Chains A and B, each alone.
Chain A
């Protein structure tokens, strides 16, 4: 009895330590972002702020210099929003339809198609850069937000297809047969039967795609310039723009601004994430 209690205590101690270890950088970022620059220079990294000021946040948002222009991250942020919403929506929708076809409307060669799509999941995206640049040029989408959306849809559909296909494989085929006897066709079965059952996997896909696309730097820096650049590129520019003194509080505030949407999405939809990853194990 005493022994199990000891081990339990040890276990919790280890967990708390691990949690603190991972939370520490977030703590440093948060506190630093609300400290004044004088306090940062004087104090130590881990101390609580003497007074809270949001100057660094507003500077990071609207006046910090990112290269030659000094308008903060706000423009980049809206670029990212305009990119991420259609890209996530379209790639999730395509993934759902692909997964539905590849699991419930198999055709000759559908396994081959699926294998090829899987290939796309594991392909390093660097190999895409040159051909994609040419393709975007051909479509007249180079350096636009629409171009970035296109790239992310193309690259994201492989994973979303995999997610949905594996989820739908767990849905009994008899459900489709029953619906066909009820007179429903391909789309009606999809909208009325399949999609309403898909909430967990839609949530998983949304979180996954949102995080991937929001955090992407490679495509943003390669395929967008000037007006269309996403927040990751803006953050990079902001941190790399040399000023006389290094403004750590502004850098931290900027990094938090860039990270905030993914955190919000995870908090809102996260409970589905774990549920979605384990769904299909039990039939409902």
Chain B
């Protein structure tokens, strides 16, 4: 059953077009991530799903029902806002109860729900406090509690963790994941943190300038990015983009890479549609972890410019084909600045982009 379907939704404020034809379709129980740079229209799309703003054109369906004309309160959704939006003059209990009170839920049932939610989120001891007397993490929990009290078909989370410090963020991320596994409610979750996107999502929609650049599973997005933007946006450090020419050598199509020695030919096996492009410029996309230090004749010898030890891995900054290139290698294999390292590429995982259209070609 389709939990949420967004069909050709556009949104314009006067002459500025914020959303330009959004299409998304997810199943019940799925965790959808909307990710993209600031100002790309994520919150606007959330508000449209919630019914707080109406789309300029297009349809929003929740649980297979077109809800364009349905009021926010009747859409059976709950939302957690970036600023938490707790009612400052009410205590935690009243904050959680407000929605139920408005819907006319009997008092006894309200108390039951509050008790259940407070227990689930471990905020029992905070029920009589005002939001101003809570820490950031506690406010975040209360905001979640308010959403949970509703027991909705669809949760909307608009950057719920972005106001928390790094450690709390990781904790809450895990809790949200557990919560989703327990409740199995459909969730739409906005973030511009690509780690949150990768770790939480069943499906990820990468947005830019009001257009969905790619919609797919985290694995799809990471391994087979649709274009240069998605490839560069997801992953940290970013994918390396090495400008190359497609050449043919000994009947094999490939590219040449140059470190500090003579250019090296790298064959790209079995990829459709490359033969026709021989002679053209392409961009080879290689993630930092797709390099290995290996002393073989095939290795590309690179000069180490900077090293960045992160603990489990060390980032090696060097130069390939005239652009900066980062390799993530084992700390023991790394060597200091000024030395050279033989690097071997995991060719199967490398991707190719057309520099004109910026789309992935293979």
Contacts and interface: CB of A to CB of B under 8 A. Distances in A.
Interface of A: 172, 174-175, 177-184, 188, 192-193, 196-197, 284
B52 A177 contact: yes
A160 to B, nearest CB: 21
Nearest to A193: B87
A181 B78 CA distance: 7
Interface in B261-314: none
A213 B102 CA distance: 39
Contacts of A284: 88, 132
Given A181-B77, A183-B103, 9 more contacts: A174-B81, A174-B85, A177-B47, A177-B52, A181-B79, A181-B99, A192-B87, A192-B98, A284-B132
B81 A177 contact: yes
Contact of A188 (B52, B78, B79, B102): B102
Contact of B85 (A178, A183, A188): A178
A181 B50 contact: yes
Contacts of A184: 98, 102
B73 interface: yes
A77 B82 CA distance: 53
B238 interface: no
B8 interface: no
A284 B139 CA distance: 12
Interface in B46-83: 47, 50, 52, 72-73, 77-79, 81-83
Contacts of B85: 172, 174-175, 177-178
B89 interface: yes
B98 A180 contact: no
Nearest to A196: B89
Given A196-B89, A284-B88, A180 B81 contact: no
Contacts of B79: 177-178, 181
24 contacts: A172-B83, A174-B82, A174-B83, A174-B85, A177-B81, A177-B85, A178-B146, A180-B52, A180-B72, A181-B52, A181-B72, A181-B73, A181-B78, A182-B73, A182-B146, A183-B73, A183-B103, A184-B102, A192-B87, A193-B87, A197-B88, A197-B89, A284-B88, A284-B132
B52 A182 contact: no
B81 A182 contact: no
Contacts of B73: 180-183
A183 B99 contact: yes
Contacts of A175: 85, 87
A177 B102 contact: no
Nearest to B79: A181
B75 to A, nearest CB: 8
Contacts of A178: 79, 81, 85, 87, 146
A272 B226 CA distance: 58
Interface in B130-148: 132, 146
- Point out which of A182, A184, A193 has the most chain B C-beta atoms below 10 A from its C-beta: A182
Nearest to A182: B99
Contacts of B102: 182-184, 188
A181 B147 CA distance: 10
A39 to B, nearest CB: 55
B101 to A, nearest CB: 9
Contacts of A172: 83, 85
A192 B89 CA distance: 9
B80 to A, nearest CB: 9
A234 B82 CA distance: 58
A192 B94 CA distance: 11
Contacts of B89: 193, 196-197
B158 to A, nearest CB: 9
Contacts of A197: 88-89
Contacts of B78: 181
Interface in B22-48: 47
A177 B50 CA distance: 9
A12 B301 CA distance: 76
Contacts of A179: 87, 98
The 10 A-B pairs at the shortest CB distance, nearest first, are namely A182-B99, A183-B73, A196-B89, A174-B85, A183-B102, A178-B85, A174-B81, A175-B85, A177-B52, A181-B72
Contacts of A192: 87, 98
Contacts of B88: 197, 284
Nearest to B102: A183
A172 B85 CA distance: 8
A226 to B, nearest CB: 47
A196 B87 CA distance: 10
A177 B43 CA distance: 12
Contacts of B99: 181-183
B160 to A, nearest CB: 12
